[in-house]
Structure formats: C-alpha cells, structure tokens
Chains A and B, each alone.
Chain A
Amino acid sequence: MSLEDPRDTEEGRQELVGATEEGVDYDALEDLLGEHVTGRESHVNAEAFVIRPDEVQAVLFALRDQAGFDHLSNLSAQEQEDRYESIYHLKKYDDPTQEVTVVVPTSKRDPRSQSAEPVYRTADWHEREAYDLIGIEYDDHPDLRRILLPETWQGHPMGLDYDKDQPQVVSFENHANPLEEDHQDAESDTMFINIGPHHPATHGVLHLKTVLDGEQIADVEPDIGYLHRCEEQMAQQGKYKKEIMPYPDRWDYSSAGILNEWSYARAAEDLADLEVPEYAQVIRTMGAELSRMAGHMLAVGTFALDVYGDFTAIFQYAFRDREKILNLLEDLTGQRLMFNYLRLGGVAWDLPEPREEYFEKLRDFLDELPQTVEEYHNLLSSNEIFQIRCVDTGVLEPDVAKSYGATGPVARGSGIDYDLRRDDPYGYYPELDWDVITEDGCDNYARVLVRLQEVEQSARIIEQCVDLLAEWPEEDREIQSNVPRTLRPEEDAEIYRAVEAAKGELGIYIRSDGTDSPARFKIRSPCFSNLQTLPELSEGEYVPDMVASLGSLDIILGEVDR
C-alpha cells in the first residue's frame, strides 16, 4: 500500500501550515499550494481551492502532510452546466472545525481527474461512487468500477441528461464455481464463497465476496448497492422546507432517525441562515440521544446474535429496552421509527401533555438504566466466550482507521478521540456535562464497550435535558423560529456540514441554485466509510471472526447504499 504516515516526524501542531488559534489561515494554505491553485471559492463552511485535475495528489499530499488535514471527510461530485466537479472536503481529526475544500473541475467532454486514493484510502469507494452516479473517471484509481449500481447499468443517473425511463438489464451470475478457483494452479488451495446478499449475518442486503485459504480469509470484498434507493435524487426533487425531512429517517433506520434529521437540519439551517430557539435545541438534543440509545441497543443485540447466536437472552433484552425507548420517542414524535420530528428552525411540536407525566416516564426509564447496562455487562462483556470471540479480533489500527475516514464508535474504539458533538459543537451539547468515550483496544471488544458506555453517556445528557425542560419558563417555550414560507437559499451557495450520528460523522453537502430545492444533495454516510475497513479487519482471520467484525462495525445498509 502506498500509505505514508501522515506525519512522519513528531513535530507537533505548531509546525502545521495554516493552523492558528482562530481557525484556518487560508492565505497560508494558498501560499503552501502555490501554483497549484487556479482559483478560490467561498463555501459556507470553509474556503475552497480550485485546482487542476492532474494535480490532485500533489495538492492533497501537501495538505495532509504539511497542513495536517488527515481526514478526507467526503467527496461530493456533481455535473454542472459547463463542467464536472469533484469536491474533496478535508478536515482534521484533532479539530474538525478546521476545514478546507478542494474543488477539481473537469471538462464536459472528458471528465477525467487524478485519483486521491494514494493519499486517502477512503477515496477508493468515494471515487467509485462518483464514477458510478456522475460519470467522472479517475486516473490512477486501483479499481474503477461501478459500486452501487449493477455492472451492466447504462448511463450515470445523477448526471444532467440521464433518461430515467430507459430500460436496463441486470445480470444474475451464478456462484463462481468454488472448484474453479480451487485448482487455478497446483499450489493454491483457495476457495471462493459468497456470503449474502441474503444471509442472516450480513445485517441486511450486503454481499461479501470471500476467498478462503483453508479456514482463513485470504480476501474479502464487500459488494454493496442492494439497497441503493436513490436517496440523493429524492432529496434533490424535494423542497427544502418540508419535503426532504422525511427521508433522513430512512438512511440509518436503526431508530436513529432524529440524529439523521439533524444532519439535514443543521446543513440547511446554516445554508439559509436560520435561527433555532434554545428550547427547541434542548428538545432536539434529548430526542437525538434517545435515538442514539435505541440505535446502540440494536447494535448490541444483533451483535450478540452474530457472535454466539443468542436469540433468547441478550437479543430479546436489547429489544425490550429498545421498546421502552421507542415508546418514549413515540410519545414525543408520534411515530415509532420514522419520526419526521425536526423542522428547519425548530421541531414539529412541543413535548406531549401532560408534561409532568412525560418527564416522569423519562425519569423512570433513566432510573432503571444503570441496572440494565449492568445486565449487559454481566451477560455480554464479562462473558468468557464473548471475550474469546472479541478480544484481539478485528483489529483496526488508529492510523488505518483515519486513512479510511472511519468515525463514530468505530474510530473511538481505536482510540481516536473524535466526536463532533464536542469538537464541532452544535445543539445544546456544549452546555451539558458529558464525556466522549474512547477505548484503546482497537478490536471488536473495544467497539462494543464504546457503544455500551455511550448509552450511559446519552442517559446523562437526557437527564440534564429533562431537568432543563422541566424548569423552562412557560412563556419561553418557543419551538420554532420564523422561517419564510418558501426557502430559497442564495444561488451558488455551497455547504458541507456534519453531525455525530449513531454510526459516526453524517455529513450533508448542499449546493443551491436559487430555487426551492437543492441542485446537488450529497450524503456522507458514516457506514459507507466504516464498512470500507472490513478487509483490513478480517484478512487473515477466520470466517466467524469476520462476522464478528462486521457486527462490530454496526453498518446499516440503508445508509451505506443510500
């Protein structure tokens, strides 16, 4: 692999170009990049440098190694009237408020630019997606194929002149005959197996092309796209104000809906410059943390199911606890799963009446929670079988995790202290008292421990929110700020904003064209990046360990494929 250590020398942060106390010094960065820069744009979240398509690697290497931008958060590609664009959104793991954007325009006739894969491993899948949906080709890319749509698909559906009604043929190849690979040459004795797309351990419709050497995994390649339901197209068809909000619920559908809604709300509010009343922020924070708990419960329950087939105890316990949370969320939002509760500039309605009763329910739930979590620790994390299965399997080293853009519990389980709730504050989080959980184990066990402890932290946050809400003076209970009837953000405004969702950094890129729906809406899905680490976690391990690793990554296919 062409990976270089992001910072070969331990020079510390002072040496990084452009890093100042007040944020990024973009002029210094421009000096650093020198002639590579052909133009400069201002996006709402950061400054953007326009560069030539054949100098991508030089620019990104400089930004990574000399300016410390070690996190390729997202690649948004788009086709415009006169050009194609690949937009690289860079951040720092140490301080995600330090952002810089790199825009790579290419011509209409020959949309071709240099791949960023040698700089950031995560660019591999992102560029394949851009090729698949938009049609930009990346030179130097190790394996430029379609990723979400079937190989035989015609056209690039997010391009401007795509005809949605044209017929398509999708092939259904049989299993590759295992024996074929078996006897490729006299020495080899590898076997090819398909795991999925219909398989109980793949958490949905994921297909793993696995090559085994004896019992060990020689190669595994996740094949995704079995749930690619055009979420970005749907958002681009909807109007900002009300028609987009129902969709985020369906990205990460592990009841983490409010967290996803918040990602859209945050991006759109910053884009259109909307205020959110404090009271609404507290409700959002509380709802978001309830969602996170429900999501983590599902992760833990299904993980137990994966690791030792425990359908009767832990899985059911996790669902019991989820039901309690879902009841609370249903009281709040009116729905069990697809909440559609946030609105731009606030929330849909106030807490349910009688308020006292609702607080009582919340407090009861929180009072019971410590015993519940204790129960999980007894059944799960202190169980010897569980430990044998999980400790030291699926190891993800921190620098590998960073190179793949891993975030959320996956990154925090590898000791990366990165949580947008604290590092890029939004909502009411900065006013509250809670901790970011990290574990240094880097293995499957550490990732589960992080989730279990995050449940406790979420409970702390909710508790404080409940106290705040209970005291909130009646005349100040403003749930919604003034939002114009039709939202038309300024033409050509661009923004990339992320929140800490259940699985990690969930970001949204929006480009506005002055109308009431987005011209480009790109979703940065944490699961997409996290799943990319699977080969690193499982090559050389046994098949059951791979299943455990997959479970501990906690992917939701709706969010991977979008």
Chain B
Amino acid sequence: MSSQDRPADSKPAVQSTQESRMEGTDDRFNSKLREAFGSSPFILTKFDQFMNWVRGSSMFMLQFGIACCSIEMMSTYAIKHDLDRFGSGVPRASPRQADVIIVPGTIVSKFAPRMKRVYDQMPEPKFVVSMGSCTISGGPFQQGYNVVKGAEEVIPCDIHVPGCPPRPEALIYGVAKLQERIANGESSPVTVKPYELEQFGDLERDELVDHLAEDIDQETLVMRYNWADSS
C-alpha cells in the first residue's frame, strides 16, 4: 500500500479518490453475476428458496464455550481457519442475536438447564451444531455420574461433528454442511429425548420429589435426570 515503493516517475503521488476510481470504464455495477444472466438482469425464484439461500449464507454464531472443544472452536474463528470466510459470521455474545449455536463440550447436570435456557432465548429459526464426542454421547466422560449423555438429551441438534476434539477443518465442514442443508430447505427430524425444564410442582411425585419438597419452591424450574434411562 505504501506510496514509497512506487517508481518515482509512474504516477503523481497524490490522486483524488474520484480519479482513482474512475480510471478506465466505470464497471462497478457490471457484476459477474449480471454478465452471467445475460441481457435480462432478473432471476425468478421462489421467495422461500431465496430466503433459505439468504439464511444459509449469513449465519450469526453464538459465542458459547463449554469445554475443551471450545478451544478448537476459537481456533476455527481465529486466524488461519477463519470461519467467517464461509459467511458464518462473527460470534455474537447474546443468544438473542444468534442463529446458530455450536455446542462445544461436555454437558453436566448443573449446566444443562442453563444451556436449555440459552437455546430458548435464541430467535427462530435456529440451528444447532453439536461439536465433539461429548455432545454426541458424553464422549470420554459417558460413565460420569454427573454427565449428560449428549446434547440431544436437552436440545435438538442439526449436525453432529465427531471428534475429540474435532479439528477446525472438521468443524468448518460441519458448518458448511449445515449451510448447504439450510439453503436446500432441509431440516433434521427432532430427536430429543428431552430433559425438560419444568416446574417442580409438575414433577411426578416419588420418593425423591417428596424429599426435596421442603427445599424447592413449587414454581421453581427444575430439570430431572433419570440416569438409569439414558443410554
């Protein structure tokens, strides 16, 4: 960029913005796309399809870190891998501004209700990329007394990226696949085995619930884990 590298005699050092832009023919509006369309600068498409294409091409990711996988997720956003190249945005800190949540890590009993709440706060349409073995099955910690066996026990997932941790390239591939599916208007079946957030008063009464009745208010939201049922 610096003007010192130029040979002294080639051009005047100072050039007005107008001059520099108007050099040659002004073809700012003659985009490649327009050339491709030929004489008629119109395309016909269904509005839905157009919207899907738009959606897939501009996705805002939620800045959401949980465990080791989030380190690789950060690498994916950062220099070298630069997820932004694929139109999947800069991470947003607020769930209310995000379309996609990447779930990067082990989910444990204390965190699952919070994650569910964050997911609920995202506006529709929203998509979930589950990153790493932990979000598929609990991964290396599947046997842990405190570990939820996969993100799908709590929220629905669109794409699973396997690995422990997946390489940034794998995550990019996962996100690109998601974009492709969104652009094609495909959606995943919702396969949540839901650990729901519900009011304590609505839980079926059993020994445990009776035992806790003194400590927990009827209206407090709770998540009940039936560890024996989750595989």
Contacts and interface: CB of A to CB of B under 8 A. Distances in A.
A347 to B, nearest CB: 21
Contacts of B75: 319, 322-323, 326
Given A172-B220, A230-B146, A230-B147, A316 B78 contact: yes
Nearest to B91: A200
B109 A149 contact: yes
Residue of A173, A205, A228, A233 with most partner-chain B CB within 10 A: A205
Interface string B130-165: 000000000011011111000000000000000011
Contact of A228 (B74, B110, B167, B200): B110
B183 interface: no
A171 B216 contact: yes
Contact of B68 (A153, A198, A558): A558
Contacts of B74: 319
Nearest to B211: A154
B209 interface: yes
Contacts of B145: 157, 162, 164, 230, 233
A246 B114 CA distance: 28
A253 B104 CA distance: 13
A381 B189 CA distance: 51
Chain A interface residue bracket vs B? 35 or more
Interface in B199-221: 200, 203, 208-209, 211-212, 215-216, 220-221
Q: Is the interface of A mostly helix, strand, loop or mixed?
A: loop
A253 B72 CA distance: 10
Interface in A279-325: 298, 315-317, 319-320, 322-323
A226 interface: yes
A298 B74 CA distance: 10
A557 B164 contact: no
B79 interface: yes
B68 A152 contact: no
Contacts of A174: 221
Contact of B220 (A171, A198, A226, A316): A171
Interface string B108-121: 11111111011000
Contacts of B200: 169, 171
Given A170-B109, A227-B67, A336-B167, A323 B227 contact: no
A253 B165 CA distance: 10
A153 B63 CA distance: 29
Interface string A328-342: 000000001110000
A336 B227 contact: no
Interface string B2-29: 0000000000000000000000000000
A464 interface: no
B225 interface: yes
B80 A169 contact: no
A168 B78 contact: no
A228 B108 CA distance: 7
Contacts of A225: 108, 110
A204 interface: yes
Contacts of B221: 171-174
Contacts of A558: 67-68
Given A319-B79, A337-B165, A171 B222 contact: yes
Nearest to A164: B145
Given A198-B114, A230-B141, A315-B78, A169 B66 contact: no
A6 interface: no
Contact of B223 (A170, A197, A254): A170
B114 A168 contact: no
Given A172-B220, A172-B222, A316-B79, A229 B141 contact: yes
A169 B208 contact: yes
A153 B64 CA distance: 26
Nearest to A173: B220
Contact of A149 (B110, B112, B222): B110
Residue of A151, A226, A323 with most partner-chain B CB within 10 A: A226
Interface string B77-103: 011100000000000010100000000
Interface string A164-190: 111111111110000000000000000
Nearest to B215: A152
A200 B141 CA distance: 25
Contacts, number: 165
Contact of A226 (B78, B93, B114, B208): B114
B146 A228 contact: yes
A540 interface: no
Nearest to A252: B68
A153 to B, nearest CB: 8
Given A167-B208, A172-B197, A150 B110 contact: yes
Contacts of A197: 111, 114
B70 interface: yes
Contacts of A167: 208, 224-228
B106 interface: yes
A447 interface: no
B105 interface: yes
B194 interface: no
Contact of A165 (B66, B68, B227): B227
B225 A170 contact: yes
A282 B93 CA distance: 43
Given A226-B111, A234-B144, A337-B72, A170 B79 contact: no
Given A165-B227, A227-B105, A316-B79, 19 more contacts: A150-B110, A166-B227, A168-B225, A169-B203, A169-B212, A169-B216, A171-B200, A172-B220, A197-B111, A198-B114, A226-B111, A228-B110, A234-B140, A250-B68, A253-B68, A255-B71, A319-B75, A336-B72, A337-B68
Cβ-closest 8 pairs across A and B: A230-B144, A253-B68, A319-B78, A172-B113, A165-B228, A226-B111, A172-B221, A229-B141
24 contacts: A149-B109, A149-B110, A154-B211, A157-B145, A157-B146, A169-B209, A169-B222, A170-B224, A172-B222, A173-B220, A197-B114, A204-B65, A205-B114, A225-B110, A227-B108, A227-B111, A228-B110, A230-B144, A234-B141, A253-B67, A315-B78, A319-B74, A320-B79, A557-B67
Interface of A: 149-154, 157, 162, 164-174, 197-198, 200, 203-205, 225-230, 233-234, 237, 246-247, 249-250, 253-255, 298, 315-317, 319-320, 322-323, 326, 336-338, 557-558
